[in-house]
Structure 1
Amino acid sequence: MPMNPGDIADLIKEGIPGAQVVIRDLAGDGDHYAAEVVAEAFRGKSRVQQHQMVYGALKGRMGGELHALALQTSAPD
């Protein structure tokens, strides 16, 4: 069952408090999204660590309810 983009954003914001999240549906099928996540919690972390934090916030939904998520992560300027 596809995920709603609002639900994806809510999970990320819940798991990474203070994060700014923008979700785009890449294919119109509810399975392929891009997420831009900006969070102070990412400061000093590698890109891999940042992505792991986002995947952790999704609580195991990657590969199941959520088929593909292209991530762009950063700390605020």
Structure 2
Amino acid sequence: MPMPAEQIERMIKTALPDATIELTALADDNDHWAATVTSAAFTGLSRVKQHQLVNAAFGDKLGGELHALALTTRTP
């Protein structure tokens, strides 16, 4: 089952309440997304750690319900 943008945003905001999220559909299937996530929580973290924080918000849904998420992370 695909994951709509609203659910992706909600899950990221639950993990990173201060996050600003920009989502772009990579296909018209609610299954392939690109996200730019900006959060102060990323300050001082490597890019890998930043991505791990975002990916952790999805638990076991990433790679299943949410098939693909291309991430760009930034600090404010």
Instruction: Give the structure-1-normalised TM-score.
Output: 0.95
Runs (5+) with no aligned partner, structure 1: none
Runs (5+) with no aligned partner, structure 2: none
Q: State whether structure 2 residue 7 is matched by structure 1 residue 7.
A: yes
> Post-superposition shift, 1:24?
1.1
Q: Structure 1: which 4+ aligned runs deviate by more than 2 Å? A: none
Q: State whether structure 2 residue 48 is matched by structure 1 residue 51.
A: no
Alignment correspondent of 1:22: 22
Work out the CA distance in 1 between the residues paired with 2:50 and 2:17: 14
User: Tell me, what secondary structure is at the counterpart of 1:60?
Assistant: helix
CA RMSD, Structure 1 to Structure 2 (Å): 0.7
> Post-superposition shift, 1:59?
2.2
Q: Share of identical aligned residues, percent?
A: 50
Work out the CA distance in 2 between the residues paired with 1:36 and 1:72: 5
> Post-superposition shift, 1:23?
1.1
Residues 3-29 of structure 1: CA deviation (Å, up to 9, x unaligned): 011100110011011000111111111
Instruction: Give the structure-2-normalised TM-score.
Output: 0.96
Aligned residue pairs total 76
Alignment correspondent of 2:62: 62
